[in-house]
Homo-oligomer: A and B are copies of this chain.
Amino acid sequence: MILPGFYIDDIIKTAIREDINYTDTTTDLIISENAHGTARFVAKADGVLCGIEVALRVFNLLDDSFKSTVYKHDGDRLKKGDIIAELEGSTRALLKGERTALNLLQHMSGIATATDLCVQLIKGTKASVTDTRKTLPGLRPLQKYAVTVGGGRNHRFNLSDGAMLKDNHIDAAGGITNAVSAIRKQLGHMVKLEVETRNLDEVREAIHAGADVIMLDNMDCQTMREAVRLTDGRALLEASGGITHDTLRKVAEIGVDIISIGALTHSVKALDISMKIK
């Protein structure tokens, strides 16, 4: 996995601190310290798997002698009933880690599955699906990773690594042209500049000002079509706002480069996956 190992470990420790706190009183009083068991992660719904290494890592942080066999990897499509992985080790640790592992696995797979659905809908067009900064505190790397596993691409990671001129910036600078020229003077040469636009006049001004990317904010299809024509490849175009599964393909066919969807990370439906312990 591409996420740094200790970032993953920190997330897991945070989760376990919340979920166990002091002791798993039921398990510690009932299950013998030496009891050994096996467990299986099984898909209870169709979707795209994401987070299996994270889920297995939960158990290794509780007890470093776990062994596991992985049948499905991040990015694999799951059918209801598929066995994802099996693991073997301390029964106590299996019971203590179950909820944390599932919470992470279901959330990440939920994002990958939702992203994949969007990606399939626009297949064959030149558009890409991206996430936004509408993520949950502490989980942004996990969530952005899950979007890529689902076939999406990442928008800027944070406010340092991409510049985006919104209406407040533009008003403060006295228009798009002024704003772009002001920021270009000092902006790092590795940082791309996107300009938010609400109508074709703004699109035109953004093109001439030399924006790298132009966001078409809540525009109707007709206007976006005209924007694509006007731009003619001189900047990337990002459609944003109010795009649903019903309109997604239509928007993609207009010829925009990027369709960004906040719901991929702000309104996640967990994918149903279970863990059966024996």
> Which A residues contact B (CB, under 8 angstroms)?
2-7, 11-32, 35, 37, 61-63, 91, 95-96, 99-100, 102-104, 106-107, 110, 128, 130, 133-141, 144-145, 148, 153-166, 168-169, 172-173, 179, 182-183, 186-192, 194, 213, 236, 238, 257-258, 262-263, 266-270, 277
CB pair B133–A25 under 8 Å, yes or no, is no
- State whether A137 touches B14 (Cβ < 8 A): yes
Are the CB atoms of A155 and B95 closer together than 8 Å?
no
Quick one: closest B residue to A11, CB to CB?
B137
A134 to chain B, nearest CB (A): 6
Contact B35 A23 (CB under 8 A): no
Q: A190 touches which one: B15, B95, B161, B186 (CB < 8 A)? A: B161
Q: Are A134 and B3 in contact (CB under 8 A)?
A: no
Q: Which of B13, B135, B141, B192 contacts A6 (CB 8 A)?
A: B13
Q: Which residue of B lies closest to A138 (CB)?
A: B138
Q: How many copies does the complex hold?
A: 6
Residues of B within 8 A of A61 (CB): 5-6
Q: Which 9 A-B pairs have CB atoms at the shortest separation, nearest pair first?
A: A161-B161, A15-B137, A162-B190, A24-B159, A154-B188, A138-B138, A22-B160, A2-B28, A266-B270
Is the beta-carbon distance between A18 and B96 smaller than 8 angstroms?
Answer: no
